[in-house]
Chains A and B, each alone.
Chain A
């Protein structure tokens, strides 16, 4: 991202600052939990570690509860029903890839992040993470060009195929590569249903209703209902690569505005994230 847009983002309202803070908090959580993972830790335990870490720091509501996927579950191998996304008793082994995915709500701001790593060296996942860089660039460029979301989806998928990978975000509900996130009203009681915060679901449902009337959708999918230019708002974008039992993803917020200036029409909320730093290091090396 250029210096102009950095300045641009700095000027933006405190809202963005709130979203950025909770996104950073989430990535901090992911790094802290990843550092504690040891052989024998189960997915359930890893999910609980994330939940507790965030609760200690004031998180009371969730867009969705933390997920953890180990081994070939990072590539959603043989996932048939959504229940399979929930953490299992699979144990982490040396060299195994893992993905931590969490979406906390903090002070009324929601984040949704995905963090990929491995216990020790995993050259395959390493390569997947490196190859995700071009996807982040491609998505931003094409959103700035105001291409229909469905077309961008297909272009990302084509790039994955060319790289030799499978598109694994197709396994998510509705096959989404992204979904909208928004402010969430703080309540004393914030129940979850099937792992999703009811407040957030309500927001998503009302977006879906509005969108349905206006011809857009809060879900960025390969289907016809996503055949529209990018809708202003905050999108949690999560391209997910799979390669023979190994998966890798990142997830972060893309800000889309109705500005005519291409640089301000869309930008990543934060460029100081683990995967972005990693690519910068790779470039430097």
Chain B
């Protein structure tokens, strides 16, 4: 007896060390038996809180969730388990026929009954975990046991089956293209249907190389994941495909309607699943909330912050219906992409900056509005909350002041979080011939227009890079960046620098999934004209020119709201250089194809 207890003690010790090593420190482990299978279940957080069950995919084990689980543990009772045949759960004998979705549903119900016998659980699935999740959320026998379902990168096989059938039966060119596209992405599914070979590969060279491949191709951070059980997980898991894919594709269930609210998180860079798969999902899941994430397949490893935030918001809204308002309040076009994200806009007290802050607010983002004009920034924040921002703050900072920017970054990180989208928009105007422009004037315009952008990119860009979960930087350049003129030499120089800075930064940060866009608005009706400096003229003449140019810009009347829309679109599509007004587009075209004509135009003197 004593020997046995000693052995158990040792095992326990190994387990704890293993859990801590896999990033699940402080987790409580238990075993749940069901249908001859022994499942390894791990719990974090207080058991009285709402229960969130995280189900892993293929080839994974529950440790894939470690980062997300830890972030959720402070607020929820988090439960992870190894799917049968994976990690430290036992495998069915024989393997064939042991992995059907019916049996996996038995497992889930057993776990749910063990960890939360009285209350329904919130289900989160990634990859095959999500495929299973759809089964759980659509079969009748789980009704009342699931409170909500968050699906990440895993469609329902039944919906998939109907999706294919619909496209096969009426193959319009578009549908055929969608079919072929997804068909190509599913190459690995066909491979896994060959007998024995996948097992040999996983237990041999593929299993050994897999962690490096994940790092290189999928950008999964190196570390304790994947775990040592990978080769056997992957070998057993092949039966997930063999037992389910063909039957469900051939005869998809016609009653696969979700009986719970569903949050669908779609990584846009997923190499295995097309976004088009979810086109008709509203038919199957009436209470559906869509989210998109610019990332590759393994988001639980690469974007744990964002996942934890969205899961928290979704679960909380279902637990406390009063808190449900925010996601309905944001009606914006890109609410699926920016909901809950942190956006910082400089120069947000007026013009393009203010309109951009409002546009992000409408998409449900949390907005930090930065400007020298404290009152204007506060006003922007105030109005941003009114149009849909769950939170918004006004900050009074001069972007040319490095110290102040450092302090702002530290404060933002500590109080609001790491910025997901940074918009370096603050800028001032300076007009007048080069020979009349004093070095003071030069310094002033470069300080704001160029150094402001450099400080922003450097300080907030570093925070983004260090977090390692992607992000986006938008710099407001100008059509003047590629449009020479004799009236705006200093302004154009500063904006040309911003444009090139953005291009270089884009190259540098691409490997860290941080996008960089340069926006070139053109003539937009903002108050930049009213505050512009006109070098080489006296105060009265300067005032006259300010008024005159304001009137001209007013006549042109291109609204800053359209620039804001272009900014959001640029972030969503990760566009590099975005001219906005027709004249800006025309100038960009001319700078490429008719530079000499552009140079001749530059010699014209506009009458002001």
Contacts and interface: CB of A to CB of B under 8 A. Distances in A.
B554 A164 contact: no
B387 A164 contact: no
A127 B386 contact: yes
B554 A244 contact: no
Contacts of A89: none
A244 B376 contact: no
B350 interface: yes
B527 A161 contact: yes
Given A124-B386, A161-B350, A244 B379 contact: no
Given A127-B386, A244-B362, A162 B561 contact: no
B561 A244 contact: yes
B330 to A, nearest CB: 12
Main secondary structure of the interface of A (DSSP, over half): helix
B354 A164 contact: yes
B contacts with A: majority SS: helix
Contacts of B358: 164, 244
Nearest to A167: B554
A222 interface: yes
Given A161-B350, A162-B376, A166-B559, A243 B383 contact: yes
Interface residues on B, range: 10 to 19
A158 B530 CA distance: 10
A123 B386 contact: yes
B379 to A, nearest CB: 6
B380 interface: yes
B561 A164 contact: no
Interface in A113-156: 123-124, 127
B379 A163 contact: yes
User: Considering residues B358, B386, B557, which has the most beta carbons from chain A within 10 angstroms of its beta carbon?
Assistant: B386
B554 A222 contact: yes
Contacts of B561: 166, 244
Given A164-B379, A166-B559, A244-B358, A124 B387 contact: yes
A193 B604 CA distance: 47
Contacts of A161: 350, 527
A164 B357 CA distance: 11
A164 B362 contact: no
A244 B559 contact: no
Interface string A208-226: 0000000000000010000
A164 B380 contact: yes
A123 B358 CA distance: 15
Contacts of A222: 554
Nearest to B359: A244
A49 to B, nearest CB: 29
Interface of A: 123-124, 127, 158, 161-164, 166, 170, 222, 243-244
19 contacts: A123-B386, A124-B387, A127-B383, A127-B386, A161-B350, A161-B527, A162-B350, A162-B379, A163-B379, A164-B358, A164-B379, A164-B380, A164-B383, A166-B559, A222-B554, A243-B383, A243-B387, A244-B387, A244-B561
